[in-house]
Amino acid sequence: MYPEVTILPKEKRKYFEKLNWLNEHMHWPRALKPFDACATVTPAFRGLPAYQHRVFVVPPSRGLYYYIVNGIMYNSETPPYTDPKLIEQRTKLFLQRMIYCWWNWKKIYPKWKRDIMKMLKEQESLSEQIRDLPELEDLEFFKEVRGITSARKLVEIYDRVLHLYLTMQDGYQYQFVGAAYATDLAFTDFCKKAFPGIEDRTIAKMLTGAELEAFRPDEEVKRLAHLAVKLGLASDIKKATNFEKMRSEFEETGEGMKWCQEFEKSSFPWFNMMVTQGIFAQSDEECWIENPNIILGFLKNYIEKIEKGEKIERDVKTLLKEKEQLSKKYYNMLKTDAEKARFKELYNLATTFYIFVEEQVVYIKHFNYALFRRNIRKFAEILAKHGVIKEPDDIFYLKFGEIKSALEDLACWWGTGDPPSLYWINEIEWRKKIYEKLEKWKYPLFMGPWKEEVTEPFIVVHGGLTTDVVNMFRKLPKLEEVKELKGIPASAGVVEGPARVIKASKDISKIRPGEILVCSHTTPAWTPAFTIIKGIVTNEGGAMSHAGIVSREYKIPAVLGTWIGTSIIKNGGRIKVDGDTGIVTLLK
């Protein structure tokens, strides 16, 4: 029931067993439905290796393998090139491409963003064209010389919906990620050689204070909170328990209508944020605009802080000042003019590309997916109404090509007026039973020998995975005996407080001011929580993960990559987070 390209080939079994396999929990934390495998795994398989290996020509790299085992996605580094002559040839091509991106970034990136917004707007507009099939075609069919029936048109619209999604997902998503990561790694490598003992956190802090559009959804919520206070609607919002009910009441008053109009302006695209357990959303997870009660929770927290006279905006000026002082400090430590010139060059490039890493997540993993899934659900409602599938959500047990086949089948049965066959209903029922079993599998995070050091830079820097972590999982202590956790110190400071353990994305609205967030990892949809929490502990993530970036922007102590934090720390339990040493202590 999964795409053929994601299934381990039997003839290569012995070869694959020699590789190190990781369930990249930060991206794919649970069993995948067929739709989700098509939406995230196959685009990653097509996109990342192609851009690393064939487009940017990263000297030794051939990308990653992505395969599904019992519904769980595992990846492994593709064995890199070792021939010195070949690597030398590829290095020249790699530098040629990188230099072009570096020096033309101010022209390239705005075009990337314009293209993305154009496609997002088209995806949204296609929603109006996804209509149920009529009993009979009307006279306009002849007047307009349409040439194709409503059923055939429905299939064509599906093709376009899918095309837009995949163009962004396995094309535009990876277009400059290689350049951004390579620049970050080049700056990190230079700093570690020039300043022995420097921490990843310190290097990352030199890149803080950016005006990221990844913060824009959160900024829009803040704007609406300020507006509510100004219009005298704060008490109504604080008392509300249901956003839609509150909005309908607001629409009956002048001030309330003004606020609703501003809410609509913010909605596209900023509130198409997926609240996910993994970096990649899955089909059963929520989006802000689909469940605006999530936004309501954020609004209440912000309004309370505003009424107390507290500032809810990021102190960007202070961050920029600290960033400038820190970079100047290390710049002055360099002894030669050549070293200083190299530091300045890499620093300027890293601060430029740093923005893209976070922003492509928002535009593609959130906005693109949310709009695409909304349109898929409209197709699902039509298929369910005509009996091709039982329920709309059943569509997520089909692969992309099968959804098109189901629509083609509907076109045939609609033409004759006969009821559809039970083929897709029976197939989905079988898959549901299989999926129930896959969800219960207690899968290993690691498979393979794992005898060598973990050196793949993206996995170490962004995932927080090291050889020590693998060894820890092989000799996992009894959880009840653990009193202290060791992780990556991603943001400085020490804080104590009650833990808020969030294991499911739908529980994000339960976070309260003054708590320490403990979770698997965070995504941009979680950003509003950073204005009310005191600290953060995650299972996965390195200094350059989302949690690392945002915790530094909000000056919140952070220890990331503990890997077992959500299993050890109890909800409400008091903990101490030391963002200087990377130690989390369980207190009484």
Domain boundary among 307, 333, 367: 307
Q: Which helix (H) or strand (E) element contains residue 584?
A: strand 583-586
Specify burial of residue 562 (Cβ count, 10 A radius: 0-12, 13-18, 19+).
buried
Range of the domain at 244: 213-307
pLDDT of residue 458: 58
Query: Greater confidence, 223 or 473?
Result: 223
Q: 31-77: per-residue pLDDT in tens?
A: 999 999 999 999 999 998 999 899 989 888 888 899 999 999 999 88
Q: How far apart are CA 203 and CA 193, in angstroms?
A: 12
In the block, tokens 């089948």 appear at 409
Produce one character per residue of 65-97: b if its CB has 16 or more CB atoms within 10 Å, e if not. bbbbbebbbbbbbeeebeeeeeeeebeeebeeb
Q: Look at the chain and count its residues.
A: 588
Is the alpha carbon torsion for 175, 176, 179, 181 positive or negative?
negative
Produce one character per residue of 197-215: b if its CB has 16 or more CB atoms within 10 Å, e if not. eebbbbbbbbbbbbebbbb
| pLDDT mean over 565-578 | 93
pLDDT of residue 309: 94
pLDDT of residue 381: 98
pLDDT of 368 over the 80 cut: yes
**DSSP states of 382-414:** HHHHTTSSSSGGGGGGS-HHHHHHHHHHHHHHH
Residue 171 lies in a domain: no
Spatial contact of 213 and 109, defined as CB atoms under 8 Å apart: no
pLDDT of residue 457: 54
Q: Which amino acid is at 139?
A: L
Query: Greater confidence, 268 or 472?
Result: 268
pLDDT of residue 87: 94
Mean pLDDT of the chain: 90
Contacts for 82 with CB less than 8 Å, ≥ 6 apart: 60
Which of 398-412, 466-480, 544-558 is modeled with the greatest confidence?
398-412
What domain count does the chain have?
3
**Alpha helices in 170-253, H assignment, sequence order:** 177-194, 200-205, 216-231, 234-239, 243-250
Beta-strand relationship, 494-502 and 21-22? unpaired
Spatial contact of 162 and 373, defined as CB atoms under 8 Å apart: no
Structure tokens at 63: 């990308």
**DSSP states of 483-526:** -EEE-EEEE--EEEEEEEEE-SGGGGGG--TTPEEEES---GGG
Residue 256 lies in a domain: yes
Q: 406-420: per-residue pLDDT in tens?
A: 999 999 999 999 999
pLDDT of residue 472: 66
Domain boundary among 263, 279, 307: 307
**Alpha helices in 251-315, H assignment, sequence order:** 254-270, 293-307
Spatial contact of 44 and 51, defined as CB atoms under 8 Å apart: no
pLDDT of 463 over the 60 cut: no
pLDDT of residue 507: 80
Structure tokens at 480: 């009840």
Q: What's the CATH number where 509 sits?
A: 3.50.30.10
Residue 477 lies in a domain: yes
Q: Shortest CA distance to 351 belongs to which of 207, 467, 480?
A: 207
Distances (CA, A) of 309 to 225, 278, 300, 302, 553: 13, 35, 14, 11, 21
Q: 502-556: per-residue pLDDT in tens?
A: 987 778 878 888 999 999 888 888 888 898 899 999 988 877 788 888 898 888 9
Q: 103-145: per-residue pLDDT in tens?
A: 898 899 999 999 999 999 999 999 999 999 999 999 989 988 8
Residue 71 lies in a domain: yes
| Beta bridge mates, 560 | 488
pLDDT of residue 229: 97
Q: How far apart are CA 56 and CA 96, in angstroms?
A: 9
Q: Which amino acid is at 280?
A: F
| pLDDT mean over 479-507 | 87
Query: How many Cα atoms are found within 13 Å in the side-chain-facing hemisphere of 45?
Result: 19
Q: What percent of the chain has pLDDT over 70?
A: 95
CB atoms within 10 A of CB 451: 8
Residue 428 lies in a domain: no
Q: 299-354: per-residue pLDDT in tens?
A: 999 999 999 999 898 888 888 888 899 999 999 999 999 999 999 999 988 887 77
Spatial contact of 134 and 415, defined as CB atoms under 8 Å apart: no
Is the pTM of the predicted complex or chain greater than 0.75? yes
Structure tokens at 566: 């959500």
Domain boundary among 307, 322, 350: 307
pLDDT of 362 over the 90 cut: yes
| pLDDT mean over 470-488 | 75
- Confidence band of 479 (pLDDT split at 50, 70, 90): low
Specify burial of residue 129 (Cβ count, 10 A radius: 0-12, 13-18, 19+).
middle
pLDDT of residue 510: 84
Spatial contact of 578 and 556, defined as CB atoms under 8 Å apart: no
Residue 563 lies in a domain: yes
pLDDT of residue 223: 97
Residue 90 lies in a domain: no
pLDDT of 85 over the 80 cut: yes
Residue 548 lies in a domain: yes
pLDDT of residue 209: 67
Beta-strand relationship, 72-77 and 274-275? unpaired
Structure tokens at 141: 């069919």
pLDDT of 434 over the 90 cut: yes
pLDDT of 464 over the 70 cut: no
pLDDT of residue 465: 65
- Confidence band of 466 (pLDDT split at 50, 70, 90): low
pLDDT of 276 over the 80 cut: yes
Question: Quick one: residue 87, left, alpha or beta (phi over 0 = left, psi -120 to 50 = alpha)?
Answer: alpha
Q: Longest C-alpha distance within the chain, in Å? A: 82
- Confidence band of 89 (pLDDT split at 50, 70, 90): very high
pLDDT of 201 over the 90 cut: no
- Confidence band of 84 (pLDDT split at 50, 70, 90): very high
